[in-house]
Chains A and B, each alone.
Chain A
Amino acid sequence: MKVSMTVNGRPVEAEVDPRTTLVEFLRKHLNLTGTHVGCDTGQCGACTVHLNDRAVKSCSVLVGQAQGAAVTTIEGIAEDGGLHPVQAAFREHHGLQCGFCTPGMVMMAIDLLRNDPAPSEATIRQQLQGNLCRCTGYHNIVKAIQAAAATMAATEPAPTQMKEQLA
């Protein structure tokens, strides 16, 4: 079957087995290996990407379901060679150790902050339920997300404002 979509802003097209999951498509066909696979039951979140600007577990999405969609992966969030504020905050606050859960965590965190630009610690912890990290004990991930929220609030209009401005 033939699929086409936009990945990190670039149109892609490929002939694939319909059983292919989105994560396999990203990793094997597009060689975007930043998105990881940590389980086979949709529970670790290592494979989290954005599908039309919403976080999804790409192991639980068939590539056909992404037909025509805009997909963003960890490789596509930094602009102009710099780091996205969430990436920068993870580095600044040591929110990663082995780095395996990290792409999924970062993609989840960006989504979380998009929906709630100033989340409490409890909200962050609850929103991260679907992302496992075995290294950090989550302590510094939570700190990093809080810090990213603060920087983003200081430098960017909140998404709702943004929408209003666009409208």
Chain B
Amino acid sequence: MNATVIGKPIKRREDERFLRGQGRYVDDLRFPGETHAYFLRSPHAHARIRSIDTSAALAAPGVLAVFTGEDLKADNVGSLPCGWLITDVNGEPMKEPPHPPLAQGKVRYVGDHVAVVIAESYLQAKDAAELIEVDYEELPAVTETARALAPDAPKVHDEFADNCCYVWEIGDKAATDTAFERAKHITRLELVNNRLIPNAIEPRAAIALYSPGEDRYTLYTTSQNPHVIRLLMCAFVLGLPEHKVRVVAPDVGGGFGSKIFHYAEEAVLTWASRKVGRPIRWTAERSEAFLSDAHGRDHVTTAELALDEQGQFLGMRVRTTANLGAYLSTFSTCVPTILYATLLAGQYKTPHIHCQVTGVFTHTAPVDAYRGAGRPEATYVVERLVEQAARELGLSPSEIRRRNFIPKEAFPYSTPVGLTYDTGDYEATLNRAEELADVAGFAQRRQEAAKRGKLRGLGYATYIEACGLAPSQIAGSLGARAGLYESGEVRLHPTGKVTVFTGSHSHGQGHETTFAQVVADRLGVPIEDVEIVHGDTDRVPFGMGTYGSRSIAVGGAALMKALDKIIDKSKKIAAHMLEAAEADIEFDNGVFRVVGTDRQVTIGEVAFAAYVPHNYPLEEIEPGLNETAFYDPSNFTYPAGSYICEVEIDPETGKVEIASFTAVDDFGNVINPMIVEGQVHGGLAQGIGQALLENCVYDPDSGQLVTGSYMDYTMPRADDLPSFQIDMHGTPCTHNPLGVKGCGAAGAIGAPAAVMNAVLDALRPLGVTHLDMPATPHRVWQAIQQAKQQQAA
């Protein structure tokens, strides 16, 4: 590797345009003759649509068209598909209700799409939508996860017996039960993993155009994976030929999972663009985003840990009910199963684990992947249990973890829940975290805080993540309806400049820099000579996109494969140019050399020869220097880390302050530490947000979204957070060419448990032993009062 680019905090190349206000986000694009769409959404959580009268809206000024579910149905528009089939324990496929892009017959959550109005201006479309008369027969609704399967719970889908989508399980139940029978101690917790609203600061937006001359559609959309959107929309929803549709995701203002999914608006606009014959644009208002972006988390769990007298884990039993919302969003079904229960071993050698997950329908927005997707939920369960067990057994949180860590000699290590971890060194990250967090000085800090009347607490979380979901064949056998590879194309131009096409997508992660570092390093060319292209189905061969921290591990590996092909071919060309045997050619830092001589050609000269093949082995190889590769990983990658949070609580107000937060992560090799640290910071903010601030609430009676704006949904702001202490300790991944693991979700996975463990550590002296997220001042204060009353009684 060329040490001058890999592993260096190279400043981001994309920043220049963002800092000057020259980013090109979907809403920044303008097209001649464009029209505006407004979506009329359901005001009810559950209602039958008796009739819809659009005549007044159609007659309103500026209105070009109004469409409802009936229009889509008449045109054979299909259902928004779900990308992962989960098989129920009874052997049957999960219940898969239709998900029409515009409601047909019934609405099933507040915000469900009812009709679209297309007009000359947005205000005209919005005003006209008010004139649509929908005759609703309101019906009772169920929004709460724990109530979805109650015998009297209103059914979300009439065609099914109840609101159960699937019951799924993993692990050896009998062996786990036996382990519990042998246990000296059992720790048990009831946990709620709070529902979250992703809230990328750029709201979702889309613009659809139809070109009759070419009979071709173009959709600009705020997506993390434009090829996936094209495939799902063409093959399942609109029945359009894929080669007649271009999907572009230009600059995208954050995703965190919420922009993976194929949304109704994308399909409706694309379909309507041909009917209307003009470009149609739509940008969600923030209040629409709250209602209609797929939400995250929302689990209710009972978890038990069986231990022996030394505090060794003997078994873990987990029962989770996961809220899927009213319809199955694109990857909703795999998040609380495949991406959750497989992570329950954490960093520990727990020999027996059994987990059962019930996915339920409710009258709420669809729930799908949100930063970490299943892994934060798993880590929260494991790390709350472990720390609770430590308290009950009188062990320190550090000691109980050390007694149960998978030792570094044990890798590769197969867990009882289906994964094989390739590398790790959990003691090392924990040691470093304890040092950075000055755990040794904590007792003194706690005393000092007590003098000021404050409660100080320390909490740990040692998490494991599985990134770069793979391989396709295994995922397929587990129900995935898609492949999980990535593509990359490397094009050397005749002048030696390089254009790279990646199926990954950057919506803040900095691919234009990191991927260019990888390419510049491998080819030995200046980074300025490399351009990274992503996000356009007409330019990039194919792509699964960016989610689950897969970009560098899978997308980067695909590029490495393409680069290998470039270098292989270049060696042949160089051998010809240097009149040497191919076997005698070595490549280093941009130069092909005949081993042991000073005869050499640069990669630029080789590229020129490839395009101007006058002195070239044409009988042996084709001209040109352009290679494509698809990479399907053989395994997940397993980032891991140790997080330590220190909090201070004011018992008078219940307000929790993060006094310090330390994160030490193992991401394997790191291409750009500056960018990686930035990813950790962002993840931590979201994880701390979940633990202390954020909570999506539906009113259980009316089914209305109570937290539908920034006034009611508490986003982490600058003064809610501290500066973070961060370090890394990498054990390179053993099965991808870069040795990288992925870092995007880490902070959001490890932080919630660390914060909650710290809060409980602070409150334990008062007798508080349990609290659910978010630990808002109100909740903390109430817990303190309750504990006081209990102790007085």
Chain B residues closer than 8 Å to A27, beta-carbon distance: 28
Q: Which partner residue on chain A sits nearest B683 by CB separation?
A: A137
Is A44 a contact partner of B201 (Cβ separation < 8 A)?
A: yes
Instruction: Give the total number of A-B pairs whose CB atoms are below 8 A apart.
Output: 176
User: Which of A35-43, A60-68, A148-156 lines the interface with chain B?
Assistant: A35-43
Main SS of the interface on chain B? loop
Chain A residues closer than 8 Å to B25, beta-carbon distance: 33, 36, 100
A residues 115-146 touching B (CB-CB < 8 Å): 121-122, 124-126, 128-129, 131-143
Q: B21 touches which one: A75, A122, A143 (CB < 8 A)? A: A75
Cα of A43 to Cα of B713 in the assembled complex, Å:
11
User: Which of B143-151, B207-215, B247-255 lines the interface with chain A?
Assistant: B247-255
Is B682 a contact partner of A136 (Cβ separation < 8 A)?
A: yes
Q: Which partner residue on chain A sits nearest B15 by CB separation?
A: A91
A110 adjacent to chain B (CB < 8 Å):
no
Nearest CB in chain B: distance from A41 CB, A:
5
B452 adjacent to chain A (CB < 8 Å):
no
Nearest CB in chain B: distance from A31 CB, A:
7
Cα of A91 to Cα of B21 in the assembled complex, Å:
13
Q: A129 touches which one: B15, B675, B682, B719 (CB < 8 A)? A: B719
Is B711 a contact partner of A87 (Cβ separation < 8 A)?
A: no
User: Which residue of B28, B286, B678 has the most chain A CB atoms within 10 A of its CB atom?
Assistant: B678
Is A138 a contact partner of B201 (Cβ separation < 8 A)?
A: no
Is B18 a contact partner of A138 (Cβ separation < 8 A)?
A: no
Is B12 a contact partner of A91 (Cβ separation < 8 A)?
A: yes
Chain B residues closer than 8 Å to A126, beta-carbon distance: 718-719
Cα of A34 to Cα of B114 in the assembled complex, Å:
33
Is B11 a contact partner of A121 (Cβ separation < 8 A)?
A: no
Is B254 a contact partner of A134 (Cβ separation < 8 A)?
A: yes
Residue-wise, chain A 82-100 has the 8 Å CB interface mask toward B (1 for contact) of: 0100010011101011111
Cα of A83 to Cα of B20 in the assembled complex, Å:
8
B residues 56-101 touching A (CB-CB < 8 Å): none
Chain A residues closer than 8 Å to B21, beta-carbon distance: 32-35, 73-75, 103
Chain A residues closer than 8 Å to B508, beta-carbon distance: 97-99, 135
Is A138 a contact partner of B685 (Cβ separation < 8 A)?
A: yes
User: Which residue of A46, A101, A103, A135 has the most chain B CB atoms within 10 A of its CB atom?
Assistant: A135
Q: B30 touches which one: A31, A87, A101 (CB < 8 A)? A: A31
Residue-wise, chain B 212-238 has the 8 Å CB interface mask toward A (1 for contact) of: 000000000000000000000000000
A102 adjacent to chain B (CB < 8 Å):
yes
Is A94 a contact partner of B201 (Cβ separation < 8 A)?
A: no
A16 adjacent to chain B (CB < 8 Å):
no
Nearest CB in chain A: distance from B663 CB, A:
11
A7 adjacent to chain B (CB < 8 Å):
no
A113 adjacent to chain B (CB < 8 Å):
no
Residue-wise, chain B 1-45 has the 8 Å CB interface mask toward A (1 for contact) of: 000000001011011111111110101101000000000000000
A14 adjacent to chain B (CB < 8 Å):
no
Chain A residues closer than 8 Å to B684, beta-carbon distance: 137
Chain A residues closer than 8 Å to B718, beta-carbon distance: 124-126, 128-129, 131, 133, 138, 141-142
List 14 extra interface pairs beyond A102-B18, A134-B200, A138-B685, CB under 8 A: A34-B22, A36-B25, A41-B287, A41-B709, A83-B16, A94-B9, A94-B675, A96-B15, A98-B254, A99-B15, A135-B678, A137-B683, A137-B686, A138-B718
> 29 pairs across A/B with beta carbons < 8 Å?
A33-B21, A33-B25, A34-B23, A37-B203, A38-B202, A39-B286, A40-B287, A41-B286, A41-B287, A94-B677, A97-B509, A97-B510, A98-B253, A98-B254, A98-B507, A99-B251, A100-B202, A101-B253, A102-B19, A125-B718, A126-B718, A128-B718, A129-B718, A134-B254, A137-B683, A137-B716, A138-B681, A138-B717, A143-B723
